[in-house]
Structure 1
Amino acid sequence: MRTPCRRFWRRLKLKGIRHFVILLGTPRQKVIPAVTSESKTPLLDTIATPEELRRLPESKLRQVADELRTDLIDCVSKTGGHLGAGLGVVELTVALHYVFNTPDDRLVWDVSHQAYPHKIITGRRSLMGTLRQEGGLSGFAKRDESPYDAFGAGHSSTSISAALGMAVARDLSGASNRVVAVIGDGAMSAGMAYEAMNNAGALDERLIVILNDNDMSIAPPTGAMSAYLARLVSGKTYRTLRDTAKTLTNYLPGAVRQGARRTEELTRSLFTGGTLFEELGFYYVGPIDGHDLNHLLPVLKNVRDAKNGPILVHVVTKKGKGYQPAEHSEDKYHGVSKFDVITGTQAKSKANAPTYTGVFAESLLKEAAEDDKIVAITAAMPAGTGLDKFQSAFPKRCFDVGIAEQHAVTFAAGLAAEGYKPFCAIYSTFLQRAYDQIVHDVAIQRLPVRFAIDRAGFVGADGATHAGSFDTNFLAPLPGMVVMAPADEAELVHMVRTATLYDEGPISFRYPRGGGTGVDLPTRGEALEIGKGRIVREGGKIAILSFGTRLADALAAAEELDSFGLPATVADARFAKPLDHDLVLRLARDHEALILVEEGAVGGFATQVFQFLSQAGLMDSGLKVRALVMPDRFVEHATPEAMITQAGLDKAGIIDAVFKALGEQAKRTMHA
């Protein structure tokens, strides 16, 4: 998942957001040393559900949190997954489940890669060894996995909207449960969070939002005075006096009444901050130390018992808290492979071919070194998209806009309108969030924004929420959009060059997560002819047309088909839009069967081919056409290889499609 937008809050210049906190000293926090898988967790062993947690005295919760952190480190060291964010919310997780009556009280985790501790204490501890593995636990909150997962989330900034919907549903139903949204880890940099808060404030809905500020960029380190003030302003006495004062001020003249309310808000925010949230209609409490249960528990109890309006509790935490390697390297331990608990050393995959992400980054660097109009944009994923290297080389030409894909796309459109060459590097699954901007701000205006679409296709352990299934489907229908997909890493180099030189409108290229095929890489890419594919293998009655990185399996299938006396032609489409009509016509007219292969959902590249064949009158010519695409369902987490096999997009699946297309004739060929 995504790293926080570190500069978002520092750069926020809204009037009144700056505040002052009197510090009487921050209590020292116990740092949990690196632990081994042999660490004992006697108290945690007695807790199977939050109900059992709530039976413990408060004095035992510190031990529960320490053991939970130990258990989390041990679990993730064996499976890999998201680590840093979960370590940062251990105490918060314990406090929330202790104070609130979950699952009747709804707990909504934003992004939810921070929800591993939540999974451990909500009846899934014994299954943590299956985390992110086929048939095992999801790496995110998932409604059908547990009643404690009130709302599923793999993307960011949705928690407040969902929680507000739940709160309104509660009131419409006459229920009395609480609804709590936990948002943080960069998710507050997305506009959707503020849209939801604005709506919640206008509705004056009874809702609790926990802002998990793990970058310490809104507030300075918290201390005894800030904790005292948080308890004070969240307490019943203060709120009763405040509500009474509000009632009395209703009898004052309008201007005086407004002045009195503003005076109370500004006086309180002088010490606690939160003017921005107050303006959105939230009652602000904080900042408080998110690792000190003595601070957390009384505040959470106070806001739990509040009867009116939305409340925001600002909690400051440390990402990676309690595990030294994670504390010292937040980015590297945000998401981890299996690692040694003692040293923190992560298991490295075998060094084979370079990754597609790395090839894209290196190719873009070469182009940018010779063209100062090239700029790069990422939405809170500089390392994930490879743009961290670009950022180091060209800091003034690289922009991390936070978790704000809509803004990223329109920002890129503005740059393009002024003659720059923006490369907008966004994961396929995250680009979906900016579709309206792609249509209206880029495509309609024919602006040459370059979309580098990472994580296209199956992504493995992150599952359905992160699969790059739909980018070809939603881009190819747009008039004037160029949609490319490289067959291998060398083709990716050529497509980066092609995108650099193309200035007639928007252009995109999609590529998968992970390593390439190991082909030799060109020193510099060559511009491809727009809308032209290539024949890579000549054959006989069978034609296989691949779009993207399934080409290697198509070639392997063709080799095996030779042994059955079925020589196959293999072609690389390169472009889904504009489609190479001449290539498709040649394959359709010269072959008995045409197999289309793409690692995308129904409605993508194959649909473009079917549309053209239909218009050309070739669907009625006896040509046997079969499309191999992702299944028409959301595919759960597994290894990418298993996903591809199950979808029938590997060599065996292609061969099977050939025999099914040819029917009895193919069987006779086999037996002969």
Structure 2
Amino acid sequence: MTILESIRGPRDLRPLSGAELDELADEIRELLIQAVARTGGHLGPNLGVVELTIALHRVFDSPADRVLWDTGHQSYVHKLLTGRQDFSKLRSKGGLSGYPSREESVHDVIENSHASTVLGWADGLAKANEVLKKDDHVVAVIGDGALTGGMAWEALNNIAAAKDRPLVIVVNDNERSYAPTIGGLAHHLATLRTTDGYERFLAWGKDVLQHTPVVGKPLYGSLHGAKKGFKDFIAPQGMFEDLGLKYVGPVDGHDIGAVESALRRAKRFHGPVLVHCLTQKGRGYRPALADEADRFHAVGAMDPLTCEPIAPAAGPSWTSVFGDAIAEIGAERPDVVAITAAMLHPVGLTRFAERFPDRVWDVGIAEQHAVVSAAGLAAGGLHPVVAVYATFLNRAFDQLLMDVALHRCGVTFVLDRAGVTGTDGASHNGMWDMSILQVVPGLRIAAPRDAEQLRAQLREAVEVDDAPTLLRFPKETVGASVPAVGRVGGMDVLLRPERPERPEEAGLRGAEADVLFVAVGVMAEACLRAADLLAGRGLSCTVVDPRWVKPVDPALAPLASRHRLVAVVEDGVRTGGVGAAVDQALRDAETDVPLTTFGIPEQFLPHAKRGELLADLGLTPVEIAGRISAALARKENGQ
């Protein structure tokens, strides 16, 4: 039996010797590399926190002591040490979540995998302990990347206000989030990493200044008397201490004994303490360390020796299509600039950044700032493109509404991972944007159905300079092109009804059919297949792609009036979504046609593959056709 196999919970770590702990760390890394290579997942972040996590669980008594993980993509080691060692179905249906999960373990306190929230949670839990007179400890682990988020500093401001309320903040400083951490905070932490040179610097200064004629000795005396300020200049931990936080570190995050010592000191202190641990993302795995882009932050299933994907992508990703398209537009339009929030490479801005390094900004994990800054760029005469994951734009709704839309700023938002994303779980599905953003005046939302439409609609979006525009696309690879067979208003007709039309009537102007499908973005293929199934049952269908799903095209109402049923199919939340907007538009136009919507109900989705979740949600051609047949049958029977 290996040492890891003998660990059933954190208390099993206590009797282990130093040598056994080092061996345990090696076993954990080997398991992580092999397991994540089979399933895909967040490899680099977890390889970097092995010793840190061991030390945390030796010093603190989870679950009585609350150990909180910001973002949570570095929680695999925590899972292993709290009794969850079956990683065979990691991030798959019925297997372990890729993030902390309350359903899995009492050791998991929070499971929201959006960054920069953990310090707010910790502040609340520490206050609850104080009110309830509990002696349990609260420990918040946050990365240097997550510290770039404004919410983290709002929480620090409040945490520091209570100097006698115990709370331990562990900064996991690996100089990276998805990519290298940027900004003023990153510079500050980088300076702290050089504290071991402080005394050498003082010795050098003393030697040089004392041998400088006339002014040397008085100047050295003044500097020595201002030692605190001088030290802050060389190693400004005072930034944290001046907030009211006791600072411990920097500590080698891969030295279990050193981390334990620092944590025990922090545990004894009756107030907020920040323990600064230096770690190495991808530690122990040479291919990860060689990857300067993101140190294998997240990987797909791969061969652990060659790192080649086990199942290569069947085609280009939506992200890569966008990346090529925005780089082409950038070459044509010097006013087009790009902004992202710590995700330059994941959202496809690599080529743009390589070609136009002075026209792209990574603002760190700070979506709110990204959007307001974009408003300023637009007001200054540029056209900014803000590229983020769909789920993360939720965090900047107020800024999009009040800073961009209210001021009629020409900003284009590009939402990657829109709709059902699957394996990353509840908080990463980009399913809320088409509902939340319906209320934003002047905003136009595009949902491209294929690569050709993405390129075309991106160009249309950046041409709009007096209102915000938005494009959304999913995580999966781009499917085959879905050609249009006609146009009605601004909508593409993908399928005409098979019933004969009068030759003098062009397009669909005189057509009668049973079902009008309004196919939102990538749901076009499912709608066409459902229409084919319905045709086998003697039902005729029209399928249109609205292209721009907000606002609803005025041509939709007269088109709908010539059908027995309208079906809106979207991969977003049904409540307040495109279907709801179409229904309202039909009512406003006094078009009395039954409408049914297919989408995601108001629920958080479990982690599973995208196809599995779509099947569970009834968003498959068979399910769609079956429901429509039943609806029409009920109508015929007067129900």
Corresponding residue number in structure 2 for 1:237? none
Q: Deviations over 1:178-235 (max 9, x none)?
A: 111100051111111111001100122311101111018523696996999xxxxxxx
Corresponding residue number in structure 2 for 1:10? none
1:146 maps onto 2:105 in alignment:
yes
Corresponding residue number in structure 2 for 1:584? 557
8 A contact 1:222–1:289 mirrored in 2: no
Question: What's the offset of the Cα at 1:342?
Answer: 2.8
Corresponding residue number in structure 1 for 2:505? none
Q: Deviations over 1:325-363 (max 9, x none)?
A: 1111152611011222333333342433x2211111111
Corresponding residue number in structure 1 for 2:237? 274
1:608 maps onto 2:581 in alignment:
yes
Identify if the C-alpha distance between structure 1 residues 664 and 296 changes in structure 2 by more than 3 Å, giving closer, same or farther: closer
Corresponding residue number in structure 1 for 2:349? 387
* Helix, strand or coil at the partner of 2:273: strand
Identify if the C-alpha distance between structure 1 residues 361 and 530 changes in structure 2 by more than 3 Å, giving closer, same or farther: farther
Instruction: Report the AA paired with residue 453 of structure 2.
Output: E
Instruction: Report the AA paired with residue 161 of structure 2.
Output: A
1:219 maps onto 2:178 in alignment:
no
1:118 maps onto 2:78 in alignment:
yes
Selected match of 2:58 from 95, 98, 103? 98
Distance 1:665 1:269 in 2: 76
1:47 maps onto 2:44 in alignment:
no
Instruction: Report the AA paired with residue 200 of structure 1.
Output: I
Distance 2:166 2:61 in 1: 16
Q: Deviations over 1:70-105 (max 9, x none)?
A: 222222122110000000000000000011111111
Q: Deviations over 1:361-387 (max 9, x none)?
A: 111111111110000111111111100
8 A contact 2:421–2:428 mirrored in 1: yes
Identify if the C-alpha distance between structure 1 residues 478 and 220 changes in structure 2 by more than 3 Å, giving closer, same or farther: closer
Corresponding residue number in structure 2 for 1:135? 94
Selected match of 1:475 from 426, 430, 437? 437
8 A contact 1:449–1:506 mirrored in 2: yes
1:570 maps onto 2:529 in alignment:
no
Match runs of 1:227-238 below 5 Å: none
8 A contact 2:483–2:494 mirrored in 1: no
1:285 maps onto 2:248 in alignment:
yes
Identify if the C-alpha distance between structure 1 residues 530 and 65 changes in structure 2 by more than 3 Å, giving closer, same or farther: farther
8 A contact 2:443–2:550 mirrored in 1: yes
1:197 maps onto 2:133 in alignment:
no
Distance 1:570 1:341 in 2: 45
* Helix, strand or coil at the partner of 2:55: helix
Question: What's the offset of the Cα at 1:483?
Answer: 1.3
Match runs of 1:341-356 below 5 Å: 341-352=304-315, 354-356=316-318
- Normalising by the residue count of structure 2, what TM-score does the alignment of the two structures yield? 0.87
Instruction: Report the AA paired with residue 610 of structure 1.
Output: D
- Normalising by the residue count of structure 1, what TM-score does the alignment of the two structures yield? 0.83
Q: Deviations over 1:93-121 (max 9, x none)?
A: 00000111111111000111001011011
1:404 maps onto 2:366 in alignment:
yes
Corresponding residue number in structure 2 for 1:598? 570
8 A contact 1:408–1:424 mirrored in 2: yes
Q: Deviations over 1:486-545 (max 9, x none)?
A: 1211111111110121122111111111211222899xxxxx999822222111211111
Instruction: Report the AA paired with residue 427 of structure 1.
Output: Y
Corresponding residue number in structure 2 for 1:65? 25
8 A contact 2:371–2:396 mirrored in 1: yes
Instruction: Report the AA paired with residue 157 of structure 2.
Output: N
Identify if the C-alpha distance between structure 1 residues 391 and 445 changes in structure 2 by more than 3 Å, giving closer, same or farther: same
Instruction: Report the AA paired with residue 93 of structure 2.
Output: E
Distance 2:406 2:489 in 1: 20
Distance 2:380 2:191 in 1: 39
8 A contact 1:629–1:647 mirrored in 2: yes
Distance 2:16 2:351 in 1: 50
Corresponding residue number in structure 2 for 1:167? 126
Instruction: Report the AA paired with residue 577 of structure 1.
Output: K
Distance 2:56 2:577 in 1: 44
Query: For the aligned residues, what is the CA RMSD?
Result: 2.6
1:367 maps onto 2:334 in alignment:
no
Distance 2:557 2:342 in 1: 40
Corresponding residue number in structure 2 for 1:31? none
Corresponding residue number in structure 2 for 1:561? 534
Aligned residues: 584
Corresponding residue number in structure 1 for 2:491? 533
Corresponding residue number in structure 2 for 1:335? 298
Instruction: Name the stretch that deviates more: 364-373 or 574-583.
Output: 574-583
Identify if the C-alpha distance between structure 1 residues 591 and 222 changes in structure 2 by more than 3 Å, giving closer, same or farther: closer
Q: Deviations over 1:552-599 (max 9, x none)?
A: 111111112111110111111112222112223312x11111111111
Unaligned 5+ segments in structure 1 are 1-40, 229-261, 523-527
8 A contact 1:624–1:662 mirrored in 2: no
Between the aligned residues of both structures, percent identity stands at 39
Q: Deviations over 1:591-616 (max 9, x none)?
A: 11111111100211111111112222
Instruction: Report the AA paired with residue 600 of structure 1.
Output: G
Question: What's the offset of the Cα at 1:144?
Answer: 2.4
8 A contact 1:361–1:389 mirrored in 2: yes
Instruction: Report the AA paired with residue 536 of structure 1.
Output: L
* Helix, strand or coil at the partner of 1:508: strand
Question: What's the offset of the Cα at 1:667?
Answer: 10
* Helix, strand or coil at the partner of 2:84: helix
Identify if the C-alpha distance between structure 1 residues 214 and 583 changes in structure 2 by more than 3 Å, giving closer, same or farther: same
Q: Deviations over 1:221-264 (max 9, x none)?
A: 96996999xxxxxxxxxxxxxxxxxxxxxxxxxxxxxxxxx978
Selected match of 1:158 from 112, 117, 141? 117
Instruction: Name the stretch that deviates more: 215-224 or 546-555.
Output: 215-224
1:432 maps onto 2:432 in alignment:
no
Q: Deviations over 1:269-310 (max 9, x none)?
A: 567531221222211111111111232121111111112x21
Corresponding residue number in structure 1 for 2:616? 646
Unaligned 5+ segments in structure 2 are 177-185, 200-224, 498-512
Instruction: Report the AA paired with residue 517 of structure 1.
Output: G
Corresponding residue number in structure 1 for 2:522? 549
Corresponding residue number in structure 1 for 2:139? 180
8 A contact 2:301–2:310 mirrored in 1: yes
Question: What's the offset of the Cα at 1:173?
Answer: 0.6
Identify if the C-alpha distance between structure 1 residues 227 and 563 changes in structure 2 by more than 3 Å, giving closer, same or farther: farther
Instruction: Report the AA paired with residue 535 of structure 1.
Output: V
Q: Deviations over 1:128-174 (max 9, x none)?
A: 11210012111011222211112213110111110111111011111
* Helix, strand or coil at the partner of 2:442: coil
Distance 1:648 1:476 in 2: 24
Instruction: Report the AA paired with residue 524 of structure 2.
Output: L
Instruction: Report the AA paired with residue 321 of structure 1.
Output: R
8 A contact 1:379–1:405 mirrored in 2: yes
8 A contact 1:476–1:482 mirrored in 2: no
